[in-house]
Amino acid sequence: MTADLPTIRLRPKSKPQAIRHGFPWVFADELVTDRRTRSIAPGSFALLEDAERRPLGLVTVNPESKIIARIMDPDPQAQVDRDWIAARLRRALALRERLFDAPFYRLVHAEADGLPGTIIDRFGDAAVIQPNAAWAERMAGDIADALQAVTGVSAVILNGQGRARGLEGLPERMELLAGGLSGPVEVPMNGAVYLADLMGGQKTGLFYDQRPNHAFAQRLAKGARVLDVFSHVGGFGLAALAAGAVHATCVDGSAAALELAQGGARAMGAESRLAIRQGDAFAQMEALAAEGARFDLVICDPPAFAPSKPALEAGLRAYERVAKLAAPLVAPGGYLALCSCSHAADLAAFRNASARGIGRGGRRMQLLHTGQAGPDHPTLPQLAETGYLKALFFRLDG
């Protein structure tokens, strides 16, 4: 295979040691992008060399992306085929089976699991693939076949939606690659039951990354009145009910997501303890404040307000506003959890924005706990983007 592959080369001022030490990306301005390199079809493979023509490994190339090359294998003789994919999947599966008793987890977390730009979430007998890199889009059938062979799942869905695909020049699409689905899938997690719509929901249908933060929130939720803002399908709200919260209110802009939250509560026998409010989260928090509503535990888990560096300043202002509006809704001595899934906003910046917002909301605070994504979302230390999730738990006085 390697004899037939094109060779691409780093510019003289690029730093090949970062790649040798595990950094998985090559940006367009780091590569010699001559006519031959620009003519490589997106998703094809190539051999990467440093400026002195020393081999660095096998890469996938996409001249249409700012990330022009992604490291597939440090071995330049590697052959990326179904067997290669299956070996990566077996390694990922072994970790999840050690961590979890039931097959509900993120199976592949992109570069951190050695499958660049590829997300796979498992929902029991079904799995959802997000091919966010051109090579994974091109080899989606091989990934699906290897996935079935390694895990035994019968249903495989390709979810080709989201910002990451646009950055790769990939079109949006949704496709059932194998098997069938009869409706939303019940997902047990932290004693709660969630309904995941694998074909029509956000992302892959459920956010597994918050599992440990749901568990920490459950410590604060027993006997509490809980408000879950940006709740999606009831993430924190249903976890709180499972832990013995007396009541939970879920706020989200999506009627479909809130309907799934109600279905999850019904499956848990907790429907009478759940209320929903559909609408803009900021407007709903303002309305709740005007109503004089107070909660023992408030959680805000918004979408990525700062998905990129150019959006950072506006994103931090949005996080500050969330904190400012949420803080007055917390009863004296109650708890406020604020979350960010924006990799461009690091922990210090998010923590500072949250503290400013709480202060502007007229409250004093103690920071009790800082959470991150669960171990089925392993991080690659060399790549900050893999450690995107932050969760801050405060106790508010005054």
- Is residue 196 within 8 Å of residue 233, measured between CB atoms? yes
133: pLDDT strictly greater than 70? yes
Q: What backbone phi and psi angles, to 5 degrees, belong to 203?
A: 50, -125
Q: What does the block give as tokens for 264? A: 């999850």
Q: What is the mean pLDDT of the chain?
A: 96
**All structural domains of the chain with their residue ranges:** 2-73, 82-178, 185-397
pLDDT of residue 27: 95
* Residue keyed to tokens 């939720």: 221
Percent of the chain whose pLDDT exceeds 70: 99
Select from 3.30.70.260, 3.40.50.970, 3.30.750.80, 1.10.3720.10 the CATH code of 82-178: 3.30.750.80
Any idea what DSSP says for residue 375? T
Residue numbers annotated as active site: 341
pLDDT of residue 13: 84
Residue 267 identity (one-letter amino acid): A
* Separation between Cα atoms, residue 242 and residue 263, nearest integer Å: 14
* Separation between Cα atoms, residue 195 and residue 136, nearest integer Å: 27
1: pLDDT strictly greater than 60? no
The CATH superfamily of 185-397 is Vaccinia Virus protein VP39 (3.40.50.150)
User: CB within 8 A of 397, min separation 6: which ones?
Assistant: 332, 333, 363, 364, 365, 366
pLDDT in tens, 72-84: 999 999 999 999 9
Give CATH for domain 2-73.
Answer: 2.30.130.10
Q: Considering only CA atoms, which of 206, 211, 220, 295 is closest in space to residue 250?
A: 295
Percent of the chain whose pLDDT exceeds 90: 91
Element (H, E) at 158: strand 155-160
pLDDT in tens, 43-98: 999 999 999 999 999 999 999 999 999 999 999 999 999 999 999 999 999 999 99
pLDDT in tens, 296-325: 999 999 999 998 899 999 999 999 999 999
